[in-house]
């Protein structure tokens, strides 16, 4: 199975993996599959809004990195036992309004979320690609 070949609690480039295969692997493992296609995003606000819509965050989501972390960790943790997560962030922008530093800050939120879930013995794998 695909997920057995990927270390749990990691954030990594999607590289040779296909979104469809990751979705199927998450389904077979009984884990949540969260997918955001950010092709049309250009700015930090666009990226956060795209993730919020794709992941069905609550209306009160603050559209900042702290709120993103809270939604990926505390909010989900409070909703009960979790089976694990496969997250795909496809086509993160590479633009003047969302530069390398902004991309790293975004990925750091997901790295922190992976650590959070690792502490709770829950698998959290995040795959990403850039535009």
Rounded Cα distance, 36 and 38, in Å: 6
| Contact indicator for 4, 123 with CB cutoff of 8 Å | no
For residue 4, the model assigns a pLDDT of 82
Measured at the alpha carbon of residue 60, what is the angle toward residues 56 and 62, in degrees to the nearest 5? 95
Can you tell me the mean pLDDT for 49-55?
Answer: 96
Top CATH class of 2-130 equals alpha beta
For residue 74, the model assigns a pLDDT of 83
Regarding pTM above 0.85, the answer is yes
The DSSP call for residue 99 is -
| pLDDT 10s digits, 3-38 | 888 899 999 999 989 999 999 999 999 999 999 999
For residue 1, the model assigns a pLDDT of 52
Name which residue leads in pLDDT, 110 or 80: 110
Rounded Cα distance, 118 and 82, in Å: 12
pLDDT band for 59, please (50, 70, 90 cuts).
Answer: confident
- 37 DSSP β-pair partners: 90
In 3D, which of 128, 114, 102 has the Cα closest to residue 48? 102
| pLDDT 10s digits, 88-122 | 999 999 989 999 999 999 999 999 999 999 999 99
- State how far the alpha carbon of 89 is from the alpha carbons of 8, 71, 106, in Å: 17, 16, 10
């Amino acid at each position: 199975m695909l997920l057995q070949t990927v270390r749990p609690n990691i954030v990594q480039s999607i590289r040779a993996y296909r979104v469809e295969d990751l979705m199927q692997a998450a389904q077979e493992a009984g884990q949540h599959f969260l997918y955001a296609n950010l092709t049309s995003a250009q700015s930090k606000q666009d990226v956060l809004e795209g993730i919020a819509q794709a992941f069905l965050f609550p209306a009160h989501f603050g559209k900042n990195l702290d709120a993103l972390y809270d939604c990926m960790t505390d909010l989900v943790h409070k909703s009960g036992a979790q089976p694990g997560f496969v997250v795909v962030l496809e086509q993160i922008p590479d633009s003047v309004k969302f530069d390398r530093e902004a991309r790293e800050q975004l990925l750091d939120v997901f790295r922190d979320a992976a650590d959070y879930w690792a502490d709770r013995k829950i698998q959290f794998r995040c795959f990403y690609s850039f535009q």
